Structure 1
Amino acid sequence: MKNVITAGVSLAEAEKALIMIHGRGAAAQDILSIANYLDVENFALVAPQAAGNTWYPLSFLATPQQNEPYLSNALSLLADVVSDIESNGIVKNNIYFLGFSQGACLTAEFTARNAAKYGGVVIFTGGLIGDTLYTENYKGNFAGTPVFIGTSNPDFHVPVARVTATEEVFKKMGAHVTLKIYENMPHTISQDEIDNANKLVFKK
């Protein structure tokens, strides 16, 4: 059963849509609240809700098989969400993605597996999923899609090395990536990250 919360402009009326993906132990409503600080006044906001508030049970650095079938189900749900948005007449280059922590990892993994010219991608503390990078899964071309990645050095959940490796994959796939690494930032979303997302991705 697909559980998706929407806010902002209705999909039927909006020209742009932002898919917002919550972190482990959080809820769709939590990530939607971040939209209050983003330049997305005219966007449809779409926040899928994970069953049990988690997209997959183990670390994102576990082997993908260890996180199945949850990982495949989560990726499939995002594909359905994108399809629903497109069925309302919103084209891919007006579809944006934003995720935090586990949601940021899922955002990175989904967009890399389905690369296209999107409106933009925001990855708040996250990276591509797996015990190693399974680059054979990453298809398509971002064609200049703006991508902002913010993370802490160190971060208890997300090693900086995986974040920089994710940056490289996205660049090779044609994304225009800005990575900012913050020293000893708590596992949260900072004001500077919000400012960068607005300046680089949600620019009016």
Structure 2
Amino acid sequence: MHKKNIITAGKKTTEAAKALIMIHGRGGSAEDILSLANYLNVKDYALLAPQAAGNTWYPYSFLMPPAQNEPWLSSALSVLKELVEDVVADGIQPENIYFLGFSQGACLTLEFITRHATKYGGAVAFTGGLIGDKIYPENYTGNFGGSPVFIGTSNPDPHVPVDRVKASEQVLKEMGADITVNIYNNMGHTISQDEINLANQLVFK
């Protein structure tokens, strides 16, 4: 299972007004995703990136029945829950906590914030959607209170179907997120400069 192995950068949580939790993709690392901060308007933030055991948060596609990705999925979600609790304990309230993930990390980001919806600073999902063979509305509680959320994805993407991105957008919108989705034709499974620009405009403003 995952241990709470957090790589940090930027300001300390005890000294920063805002925190950004950055979640790497399958085969990636905490250090990889932290390097993205160089392109974001987050220079005064505390940056925290959890490291997945074996560089993957759960073994199978995010479109499998959730039980098939257990106990890894629950372990990953609990790492994020503990991390948020630690940040709050250091004096940063949820409305100043931000999330960012790529690919598997974007799926985990969206799944976590939607299971624990509240007024967050905002969230960025570079190629991701809510987790499961279908949407499970019973897993999602709370209200985002207008939190800005940006999802960017490619059409097509080899791992994340556009219809799941759109279904996820609908769930978050109904739960009060101020959500923006951009779908890029044939972008590939990557992060584009346009997505970075939009993340800065919409979320890290």
TM-score of the superposed pair, with normalisation by structure 2: 0.99
Superposed, which structure 2 residues align to 1:112-151 within 5 Å?
112-151=114-153
**Equivalent of 1:62, from 36, 61, 64?**
64
Which residue does the alignment assign to 2:168?
A: 166
Deviation digits for residues 135-163 of structure 1 (CA, Å, limit 9, x no counterpart)? 10000000000000000000000000000
Superposed, which structure 2 residues align to 1:27-46 within 5 Å?
27-46=29-48
**Equivalent of 1:24, from 22, 26, 32?**
26
Which residue does the alignment assign to 2:186?
A: 184
Displacement of 1:28: 0.2
CA distance in 2: counterparts of 1:44 and 1:112, whole angstroms: 22
CA distance in 2: counterparts of 1:117 and 1:103, whole angstroms: 21
CA distance in 2: counterparts of 1:189 and 1:30, whole angstroms: 13
Counterpart of 2:120 in 1: which secondary structure? coil
Displacement of 1:172: 0.1
Paired positions, count: 203
Displacement of 1:38: 0.1
Displacement of 1:186: 1.6
Counterpart amino acid of residue 100 in structure 2: L
Counterpart of 1:59 in 2: which secondary structure? coil
CA distance in 2: counterparts of 1:175 and 1:88, whole angstroms: 26
Identity %: 69
Gaps of 5+ in 2: none
Counterpart of 1:118 in 2: which secondary structure? coil
Counterpart of 1:199 in 2: which secondary structure? helix
Counterpart amino acid of residue 44 in structure 1: A
Which residue does the alignment assign to 1:87?
A: 89
Counterpart amino acid of residue 114 in structure 2: A
Counterpart of 2:198 in 1: which secondary structure? helix
TM-score of the superposed pair, with normalisation by structure 1: 0.99
Aligned residues of 2:156 and 2:188 also touching (Cα < 8 A): no
Counterpart amino acid of residue 181 in structure 1: I
Displacement of 1:60: 0.0
Counterpart of 1:140 in 2: which secondary structure? coil
Counterpart of 1:41 in 2: which secondary structure? coil
